[in-house]
């Protein structure tokens, strides 16, 4: 009896020591706060480059003598370039040192922003916008870098923090660019953006460690493996389709908001359009909350809750024509908070699903998810500009509502939805 008690006590004591040792190892291997902030800031400033133009389109078009339809292609090309860059370049993060890739893209992005700020006409600006989109994918090298550097016990927290930086970059970029364009001109915004990327590139050169490649595949095999991952993993297909459809409405709203507010009945400038980003920035708060909820209740539930909130937010905008002007603005602000919250929650949940599929293919899995997301954004920008010019704001609202309903259907309709996606892609 005495021996049994002694053994039990010793076993408990050894387990306690092992647990404490593990905790000490986790604390010792935790990333420095300065490195986490560098990653979060770098991701935010890189992706912000895609969105600086949106609140400035009204001022920009007037200054260079371009039509609303032509200037509408500025955000379309940045987002299309981003989708192409993710598809064709982001998988290289599994094959080469991510640090070197981040530094090269930072240099190219800085140069493209300088060209955009010096553009004499719409043609040069559109070409620069495409390059901005391609090189801004350094943000999609930073997020997998954070997942790789973080110890397993705190990976979700670190990735959530970096994603919060990225999401704040998306949303606050409109606030900054609206203010700068209103007071200093749209060219000053592009020049300031180039300066910020140059500083991040310098900080990354000094602060980022080197990364060991996880595969030796040649480039063509690396790109071909994207299709294999798509075919092999239904969870990846569902995440990509749902997030892509949500992105259509998101982009249609934000890429047409400045033009809509510039006209009847609001007559508001770029600063007012950019200020809407403050409302949308509340959605960034969803990143850590959604991550914790996904850990406790599962990411599937979070994707459905997020998509449902997006549907309700967009649908509520249909009430705007029935209200006074001030009430319409209040409704738009409330809806922006709602759908940004839902879209960001869905994105975090989808990333949780995708990153759990194959640790050795995180860059490629991330590439598939974000390619679909930014194809949706490019489509939303183009369709939103055409619908606004042809049928007005309510047509944009209808597009956003229908696309988010389809995303919710993908998340709710399990087996048949996966089969439909597989069939439609051959």
CA distances from 122 to 112, 116, 125 (A): 14, 10, 5
CATH number for the domain that contains residue 313 = 1.20.1250.20
What's phi and psi for 229, nearest 5 deg?
A: -65, -40
Q: What is the pLDDT of residue 284?
A: 63
Distance CA 119, CA 274 (A): 22
Report pLDDT for 406. 96
- Mean predicted lDDT score pLDDT of the chain: 82
89 in Cβ contact with 102 (< 8 Å):
no
Q: Take residue 19 and report the two structure tokens written for it.
A: 């647990």
Least-confidence region, from 126-130, 179-183, 314-318: 179-183
Q: Is residue 156 predicted with pLDDT exceeding 90?
A: no
Q: Does residue 2 form part of some domain?
A: no
Residue 421 confidence (pLDDT) above 70: no
For residue 324, tell me if it sits in a domain: yes
Q: Which of 92-101, 110-119, 261-270, 411-420 has the highest mean pLDDT?
A: 110-119
In the 8-state DSSP scheme, what is residue 317? G
Q: How many domains are there within the chain?
A: 1
Query: Hey, what's the torsion of the CAs at 29, 34, 35, 37, to 10 degrees?
Result: 120
Q: Output the six-digit token pair for 119.
A: 């553009």
Nearest one of 169, 145, 171 to 158, comparing CA atoms:
145
Asked whether residue 254 is assigned to any structural domain, the reply reads: yes
Residue 8: inside a domain, yes or no?
Answer: no
Residue pLDDT, tens place only, 4-39:
444 343 443 444 444 444 443 444 456 788 899 999
What pLDDT, in 10s, does the model give residues 210-254? 988 888 888 888 888 889 999 999 999 999 999 999 999 998 998
SS3 at position 265: coil
CA distance to 101, 105, 253, 384, per residue, from 391 (Å)? 44, 39, 15, 10
- Evaluate whether residue 11 is within a structural domain: no
Confidence of residue 112 (pLDDT cuts 50, 70, 90): very high
Please report the pLDDT score of residue 426 as a whole number: 36
Convert 190-218 to b/e letters by CB count within 10 Å (16 or more is b): bbbbbebbbebbebbeeebeebeebeebe
In this predicted structure, the answer to whether residue 318 has a pLDDT above a threshold of 80 is yes
- Range with the lowest mean pLDDT among 16-20, 117-121, 202-206, 269-273? 16-20
Torsion sign across C-alpha atoms 346, 348, 352, 355 = positive
pLDDT (0 to 100) of residue 35: 92
The distance from CA 425 to its chain's CA centroid, rounded to whole angstroms, is: 24
> Could you tell me if residue 213 is inside a domain?
yes
Asked whether residue 16 is domain-assigned, the answer is: no
* pLDDT tens-place string over residues 38-87: 999 999 999 999 989 888 887 887 788 777 778 878 888 998 898 889 88
Residue ranges making up the domain that contains 45 = 33-424
Q: Give the span between the Cα atoms of 129 and 183, in whole angstroms.
A: 23
Omega prior to 265 cis, within 30 of 0: yes
State the Cα–Cα distance between residues 76 and 79, nearest whole angstrom.
Answer: 5
Q: Is the CB of residue 399 less than 8 Å from the CB of residue 388?
A: no
The answer to whether the beta carbons of residues 370 and 163 sit under 8 Å apart is no
Cβ(85)–Cβ(161) below 8 Å:
no
Question: Could you tell me if residue 385 is inside a domain?
Answer: yes
pTM greater than 0.75 (yes/no): no
């Amino acid at each position: 009896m005495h021996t049994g008690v002694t053994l039990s006590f010793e076993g408990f004591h050894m387990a306690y020591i092992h647990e404490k040792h593990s905790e000490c190892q986790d604390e010792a291997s935790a990333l420095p706060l300065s490195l986490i902030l560098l990653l979060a800031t770098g991701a935010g400033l890189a992706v912000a480059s895609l969105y600086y133009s949106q609140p400035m389109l009204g001022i920009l078009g007037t200054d260079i003598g371009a039509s609303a339809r032509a200037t509408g292609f500025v955000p379309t090309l940045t987002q299309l370039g981003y989708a192409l860059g993710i598809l064709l370049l982001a998988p290289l993060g599994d094959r080469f040192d991510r640090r070197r890739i981040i530094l090269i893209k930072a240099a190219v992005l800085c140069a493209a922003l300088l060209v955009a700020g010096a553009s004499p006409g719409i043609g040069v600006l559109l070409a620069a916008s495409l390059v901005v989109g391609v090189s801004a994918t350094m943000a999609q090298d930073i997020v997998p870098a954070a997942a790789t550097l973080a110890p397993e016990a705190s990976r979700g927290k670190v990735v959530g923090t970096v994603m919060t930086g990225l999401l704040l970059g998306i949303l606050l970029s409109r606030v900054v660019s609206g203010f700068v364009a209103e007071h200093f001109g749209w060219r000053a915004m592009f020049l300031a953006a180039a300066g910020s990327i140059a500083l991040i590139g310098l900080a990354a050169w000094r602060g980022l460690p080197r990364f060991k490649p996880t595969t030796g595949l040649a480039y063509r095999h690396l790109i071909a493996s994207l299709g294999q991952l798509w075919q092999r993993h239904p969870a990846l297909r569902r995440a990509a389709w749902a997030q892509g459809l949500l992105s259509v409405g998101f982009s249609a709203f934000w890429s047409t908001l400045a033009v809509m507010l510039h006209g009847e009945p609001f007559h508001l400038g770029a600063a007012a359009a950019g200020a809407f980003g403050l409302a949308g920035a509340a959605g960034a708060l969803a990143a850590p909350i959604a991550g914790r909820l996904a850990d406790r209740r599962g990411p599937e539930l979070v994707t459905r809750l997020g998509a449902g909130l997006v549907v309700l937010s967009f649908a509520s905008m249909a009430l705007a024509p029935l209200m006074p002007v001030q009430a319409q603005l209040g409704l738009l602000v409330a809806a922006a908070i709602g759908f940004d919250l839902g879209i960001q929650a869905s994105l975090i949940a989808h990333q949780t699903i995708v990153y759990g599929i194959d640790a050795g293919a995180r860059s490629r899995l991330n590439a598939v998810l974000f390619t679909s997301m930014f194809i949706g954004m490019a489509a939303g920008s183009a369709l939103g500009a055409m619908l606004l010019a042809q049928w007005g704001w309510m047509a944009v609202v209808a597009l956003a509502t229908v696309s988010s309903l389809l995303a919710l259907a993908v998340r709710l309709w399990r087996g048949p939805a996966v089969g439909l996606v597989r069939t439609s892609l051959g």
